[in-house]
Amino acid sequence: MKIAFGPQADKFGSWKWIGQDLVDELGPERAAVFRYVIPPCDVVIFIKFKPSLPHLKALKPSRKLVYCPVDIYGSAAEIDADWESLQQFDCIICHAASLQKYFSAYSRTALLDHHVKFTAPLPTERQINGPILWTGNAANLPPLVGWCNTHQLPEELWILTNLDRESVTSSELGFRGNSRVRIENWSPEKHREWAGLARLALDIKGTDFRARHKPPTKAFDCIASGLPFAMNADSGPAAEIASRGFQLATPDDW
């Protein structure tokens, strides 16, 4: 069986994590990548972006179609409005368990966890000093900034994110007062380095549809690194973590 993954979209983390990493694991005999033209294959897996309805209908008779709609839909209503396209797929792969109920009316669904990827070596002893670490896309910063502006952190906050310039100040991101914040551009190497230096890791999820249906990826990376992790208890990922048997700390526990 030959599986084609695409469209290749290198600037999106979801492509690298779910697409390219799976292709690399399966190897060239079983998997191929496309950007525009779909190669001969038995199965096409569209990650994040899918073709138009007429294109899907034209593809459907000759191969199996799978869709992984990572962070594409901003509401349940948007999903329902796209029902005809969604019905063309033989399977819809969700990156968070909480999303499956929204797609199950239109196709078979499956869950694909983000694999553990950005981990530091397990510490020989627990860190008692060090910064608090936050990693993620800059679009997810506002809930963190809002929380930090109304709470006092016990240590300096270190942020790794995708900056659009060489450096940025905490006030430019919206932090107020005398917030102790260090901000640098994210890279895999820097992520692993800072995870090994941090005493704690923090995440504050927002309340919009996409934020409520994020996977617990950060939490599992931190657990695998032996790094204590806290998240707001009212978030979707927190509920998913609890369902898997982990007792989650909240920032208020500090």
The Cα–Cα gap between 67 and 70 comes to 9
pLDDT at position 247 over 90: no
Helix axes 236-243, 217-224, angle to 10 degrees: 50
CATH classification (class only), 132-253? alpha beta
Cross-strand partners of 46: 6, 67
Per-residue pLDDT, 85: 98
pLDDT band at residue 246 under the 50/70/90 scheme: confident
Q: What proportion of the chain, given as a percentage, has pLDDT over 70? A: 100
Given a cut of 90, whether residue 2 has pLDDT beyond it is: yes
pLDDT at 127 over 90: no
Q: Are 236 and 203 in contact (CB under 8 A)?
A: no
Q: What is the pLDDT of residues 46-55, one digit of tens each?
A: 999 999 999 9
The overall average pLDDT reported for the chain is 93
Place 120 in a pLDDT band, splitting at 50, 70 and 90: confident
d(CA 18, CA 45): 10
What pLDDT was estimated at residue 99? 97
The C-alpha angle 28, 32, 37, rounded to 5 degrees, equals: 150
Whether the Cβ atoms of residue 148 and residue 232 lie closer than 8 Å to each other: no
Q: Which residue has the tokens 């396209």?
A: 85
pLDDT for the residue 192: 93
Where residue 177 falls among pLDDT bands split at 50, 70, 90?
confident
- Report helix, strand or coil for 182: strand
What is the rounded CA–CA span in Å between residue 147 and residue 144? Answer: 5
Question: Does residue 70 carry a pLDDT above 80?
Answer: yes
Q: Please list, in sequence order, all residues whose beta carbon lies within 8 angstroms of the beta carbon of residue 55, skipping any fewer than 6 positions away.
A: none
d(CA 239, CA 233): 7
Nearest to 224 by CA among 117, 136, 95, 113: 117
Q: What is the pLDDT of residue 14?
A: 86
- Indicate if the pLDDT at residue 128 is higher than 90: no
pLDDT for position 165: 82
In whole angstroms, give the CA distance from residue 220 to residue 9. Answer: 25
- CA–CA separation, 231 and 123 (whole Å): 22
- Backbone φ and ψ for 43, nearest 5 degrees, come out as -135, 135
192: number of Cβ within 10 Å: 16
The DSSP code for 213 is T
**pLDDT at residue 122 is higher than 90:** no
Rounded CA gap, 200 and 184, in Å? 18
Phi-psi region of 134 (alpha: psi -120 to 50; beta: other; left: phi over 0): beta
Longest dimension (CA), the chain: 61
Q: Looking at the predicted structure, is the pLDDT value of residue 181 above 90?
A: yes
